[in-house]
Amino acid sequence: MSPQTSYSNIKFDLEIWKRKEKMISQKKIVSSLICFLLLLLLPIAFSETTRNLKGKSARAPTVQQIKNKHGAKEVIVDNGIFRVTFSSPQGLITGIKYNEIDNVLNPHLRARGYWDITWQRENILPKLDRVEGTNFRIITQNEEQVEISFSRKWNGGTDHVPLNVDKRYIIRTNTSGIYTYGIFERKPEWPEVEMGLIRVAFKLNPDRFHYMVVADNRQRQMPTDDDRDIHSGRAKPLAYKEAVQLTHPHNKMFKNQVDDKYQYTCEVKDNKVHGWISTKSNVGFWFISPSSEYRSGGPVKQELTSHVGPTTLTTFISEHYVGSDMETRYKAGEVWKKVLGPVFVYLNSDSTGNNPQYSLWEDAKRQAEQEVEAWPYGFVASSDFPTRQERGTITGRLFVNDRFLTPAGSAYVGLAPPGEAGSWQTNTKGYQFWTQTNETGYFTIDNIRPGTYNLYGWVPGFIGDFTYQNQVNVAAGSEISLDRIVFQPPRNGPTLWEIGVPDRTAREYFVPEPYKNTMNPLYVNHTDKFRQYGLWQRYTELYPNHDLVYTIGVSNYSQDWFYAHVTRNIGSTYVPTTWQIVFELPYVNWRGSYTLQLALASAARANLQVRFNNENSRPFFSTGNIGRDNAIARHGIHGAYHLYSIDVPGSLLRTGTNTIYLRQSKALGPFEGLMYDYIRLEEPSTA
Q: Residue 364: enclosing H or E segment and its boundaries? A: helix 356-374
Whether 252 is in a domain gets the answer yes
Buried b (16+ CB within 10 A) or exposed e, 176-202: bbbbbbbbbbbeeebeebbbbbbbbbb
- Nearest CA among 411, 461, 418, 473 for reference residue 437: 411
Residue 389, SS3 per DSSP: helix
What does the alpha-carbon distance between residue 624 and residue 605 come to, in Å, rounded to a whole number?
A: 10
Give the H or E element holding residue 63.
Answer: strand 62-67
pLDDT tens string 330-389: 999 999 999 999 999 999 999 887 899 999 999 999 999 999 999 999 999 999 999 999
Q: State whether 359 and 504 are in the same domain.
A: no
Provide the number of structural domains found in the chain.
3
Q: What is the CATH number of the domain that holds 408?
A: 2.60.40.1120
DSSP lists the bridge partners of residue 317 as 198
Mean pLDDT of 213-242: 96
**52 within domain boundaries:** no
Residues 204 and 317 in one domain: yes
Residue 658 forms part of a structural domain: yes
- Asked whether residue 595 is assigned to any structural domain, the reply reads yes
Q: What whole-number percentage of the chain has pLDDT above 90?
A: 87
**Do the strands 466-467 and 495-500 form a parallel or antiparallel pair, or are they unpaired?**
unpaired
The pLDDT of residue 512: 97
Q: Is the pLDDT of residue 625 over 80?
A: yes
Q: Give the model's pLDDT for residue 353.
A: 79
Report how far residue 491's alpha carbon sits from residue 600's, in angstroms, rounded to the nearest whole number.
16
Whether residue 533 lies inside any domain: the answer is: yes
CA dist 588 and 591 (Å) reads: 9
Domain end position, chosen among 487, 510, 542: 487
Same-domain status, 352 and 454: no
* In-domain check, residue 53: no
Q: What is the mean pLDDT of the chain?
A: 92
For residues 231 and 96, state if they share a domain.
yes
Q: Under a CB-based contact definition with an 8 Å cutoff, are residues 360 and 351 in contact?
A: no
Q: Is 646 exposed, middle or buried (0-12, 13-18, 19+ CB in 10 A)?
A: middle
- Cα angle value 644/649/651 (rounded, 5°): 145
Q: Is the pLDDT of residue 28 over 80?
A: no
Which tens digits make up the pLDDT trace of 247-274? 999 999 999 999 999 999 999 999 999 9
Do residue 609 and residue 463 come from a single domain?
A: no
The better pLDDT of the pair 687, 605 is held by: 605
User: Taking the model in full, what pTM does it have?
Assistant: 0.90
In this structure, are 329 and 461 located in the same domain? no
| pLDDT tens digit sequence for 541-590 | 999 999 999 999 999 999 999 999 999 999 889 999 999 999 999 999 99
Residue 32 belongs to some domain of the structure: no
Strand, coil or helix: 574: strand
Of 374, 405, 439, which one is at a domain's C-terminal end? Answer: 374
Same domain membership, residue 182 and residue 122 = yes
Cβ atoms of 94 and 203 closer than 8 Å: no
Kindly tell me if the per-residue pLDDT of 591 is higher than 80: yes
Say yes or no: 501 and 573 in one domain: yes
Instruction: Give the model's pLDDT for residue 44.
Output: 37
Let me know whether 462 and 502 are in one domain: no
517 and 652 inside one domain:
yes
- State whether 526 and 437 are in the same domain: no
Pairing of strands 577-585, 549-551: parallel
Q: What is the pLDDT of residue 324?
A: 87
Q: How many helices (H) and strands (E) does the chain have?
A: 4, 45
Residue where a domain terminates, one of 461, 487, 513: 487
CB atoms within 10 A of CB 55: 6
Return the exposure string of 412-445: e unless at least 16 CB atoms fall within 10 Å of the residue's CB, then b. Answer: bbbbbbebeebbbbbbbebbbbbbbbeeebebeb
What pLDDT score was predicted for residue 43? 39
pLDDT at 48 > cutoff 50: no
Does one domain contain both 538 and 662? yes
* Residue 529 pLDDT > 70: yes
For residue 433, the enclosing domain spans 388-487
Q: Which residues are within 8 A (CB) of 373 and not within 5 positions of it... i.e. 6 or more apart? A: none
SS3 category, 81: coil
CATH code, 597: 2.60.120.260
Note the pLDDT of residue 687: 67
Helix, coil or strand: residue 557: helix
pLDDT digits (tens, 9 = 90+) for 337-348: 999 999 999 999
State the CATH number of the domain containing residue 309. Answer: 2.70.98.10
